[in-house]
Amino acid sequence: MTDFAEPGALLGALLPEITLLLGTLILLLVGAWGGESSSPTRRSARFALGIVGVTAVAVVFAWLRGDGFTTDDRLTGDGFRWAIDLVLLLGTAGALAIFDTEQLRTRAYQAEIPVLMLLALSGMMIISASRDLMFTYIGLELMSIAVYVLAGANRSSARSAEASIKYFLLGAFASGFLLYGIALLYGAVGDTRLSALGAATPSAMYLVGVALLLVGFAFKVGAVPFHLWTPDVYDGAPSPITAFMAACVKASAFAMLLRVMAEGIGPAIVHWHPVVWWLAAITMVVGNVVALAQPNVKRMLAYSSIAHSGYLLVAVLAYSQEAAAAVVFYLLAYTLATIGAFAVLGIVSEGRETTVTIDDLSGLWHVRPGLAVALSVCLLAFFGFPIAGGAGFFAKWYVIQAALASHTPLTVLVVVLVLASVVSAGYYLTAISAMFNRPRPSQLPMPVQTPLLSGIVMVVAVVALLVLGVFPTPASRLAAAATLRAAPLATPVAGTMTVSAPTVAATEDAGSTP
């Protein structure tokens, strides 16, 4: 344990963020310079990839240094932070590589787009490090504002612009709830630090604050009924940005949700437990059922990502260190599958303004077997299929394990999860079946040769998924090392965790005895 108050320790703890921000500023200058490059945007993307790599090294370095914290508990250096950072860096690198391919094809983007992606990334990394709601909020807004702009990155596309403005308006609306929630919590406790919130006795004002906080979080993770923006924005935004949002923004939002729930609002668990229980159940069911009816692959993946939020909420509810490890492993598998799938979609949607439908995937196996196999592995990973779906299976497995081993076994919720997964076969397998079983319609264009970076992304994603599907142990061990430092998860708040979820409402006095 190092105290960041020690000389140099704070600098060391913030080394990854500082590296990233410095790199981003240099990248901005390079972009502004213009220079002689024939394609400044792609140069910028590759430069950004380099920065992501250096930042990853810094993160690994910081993790190896061991746990750290600030004396006043605003900043943490626990394993959870670094693990989430690595997942975020992985997702960003994938999205940048897909972006490079997209730019090669459309030439529709400015050199500043990678800068914005890195800025959003730095916001996410601040979120994962923060143990103070104000820091969290600053990180969140840094991320959100950058992503609002990114959604409209393709300035020649009306749909992209519409997605951007829609996301911005609704995001601002939800941010309002969040900020109001923080204000009320501050009013109730006199502090915004999670450690102080976690030690407080919930008052009425505290509870309203938690409720509003949850609204903001639910919007960010795309939980039903706060999810309506997701399909429109995912569909309208350019593919690489959608991949970025689906992978990184979601991972970051869950890191925030998990940390705040575990370390901050534990005292109110009897109040939020049933609420989140219902959110998880409804999100899983609605996400999967509506995805069934989507012919548009990007919209389908949007609903699928909503369903995955539901699965992750189950893990959050399980409320244990194992659950935190399960979330990290899940986010890793989900990020790999997401960037893999979008890398393939980027190639398949070649040269068309409209988005890819299931029909466009028909017979892909007969013309580009590699792409078909890669997309199938990613979809099967989403589905949670063993072996062929690789790590996706173990991701769900660990979530279910954590949920059943939880202090209040979430048996009913696990049944809902499994049934919802069964429903999800309906759309994942339809897409796979279209690729393998249908003939290739002659009017469909031949997908181009895969550019190098996209190819690398696909190979890395597929190989990593498959290898982790057979040997999950190294990654799951790493995830298990990614523990939250704060105590509440390890030892549940006395007297509050023993009530089963649906009946929490009946035990009225439990909330007042944290």
**Cα distance from N-terminal residue to C-terminal residue, the chain:** 28
Report the C-alpha gap between 391 and 378 in whole angstroms: 10
Residue 271 binds another protein, judged by CB under 8 A: yes
Spatial separation of the C-alpha atoms in residues 156 and 289, rounded to whole Å: 33
Contact status: 196 vs another protein (CB under 8 A): no
Q: How many CB atoms lie within 10 A of CB 442?
A: 6
CB of 473 to another protein, least distance (A): 6
Shortest CA distance to 212 belongs to which of 253, 250, 184? 184
Among positions 204, 351, 439, 443, the unique one binding another protein when judged by CB under 8 A: 204
Contact 125, 15 (CB under 8 A): no
Interface residue with another protein among 11, 29, 158, 293 (CB under 8 A) is 293
**Least separation in angstroms between CB 508 and another protein:** 6
Task: Using alpha carbons, list the distances in angstroms from residue 3 to 6, 65, 92, 273.
Answer: 6, 12, 30, 33
Q: Does 210 bind another protein (CB under 8 A)?
A: yes
Retrieve residue 364's tokens: 């892909």
8 A C-beta contact, residue 464 and residue 336: yes
- Specify the residue, 278 or 436, whose C-beta has the smaller distance to another protein: 278
Interaction of residue 33 with another protein, rule CB under 8 A: no
* Nearest to another protein of 16, 216 (CB atom): 216
Closest to another protein by CB, 68 vs 274, is: 274
Contact flag: residue 286 with another protein (CB under 8 A): yes
Q: Does 228 sit near another protein (CB under 8 A)?
A: yes
H helices present in 384-514, as ranges: 391-405, 411-437, 452-470, 473-481
How far is residue 274 from each of residues 220, 354, 495, measured CA to CA in Å? 20, 41, 16
Site residues for another protein, 159-188, by CB under 8 A, read 165-166, 169-170, 173-174, 177
Q: Which residues inside 469-498 make contact with another protein, applying CB under 8 A?
A: 471, 473
CA distance 235 to 218: 20
Q: Name the β-bridge partners of 2.
A: 68
Give the range of 3-11, 254-262, 287-295, 409-417 binding another protein by CB under 8 A: 287-295
Contact between 465 and 392 under an 8 Å Cβ cutoff? The reply is: yes
> Of the listed pieces 105-113, 187-195, 269-277, 318-326, which binds another protein according to CB under 8 A?
269-277
Taking the least distance from each CB to another protein, the nearer of 35 and 474 is: 474
Whole-angstrom distance, CA of residue 136 vs CA of residue 128: 8
Neighbouring residues of 303: CB distance < 8 A, sequence distance ≥ 6: 230, 231, 287, 288, 290, 291, 294
Residue (53 or 426) nearer to another protein, CB: 426
Position 225 contacts another protein (CB under 8 A): yes
Positions in 405-434 near another protein (CB under 8 A)? 426
Q: Which of 229, 244, 254, 398 binds another protein (CB under 8 A)?
A: 229
**Interaction of residue 509 with another protein, rule CB under 8 A:** no
Residues near another protein (CB under 8 A) are 165-166, 169-170, 173-174, 177, 204, 207-208, 210-212, 214-215, 218-219, 225-226, 228-229, 231-232, 271-272, 274-275, 278, 286, 289-290, 292-294, 367, 369, 426, 446, 471, 473, 505, 508
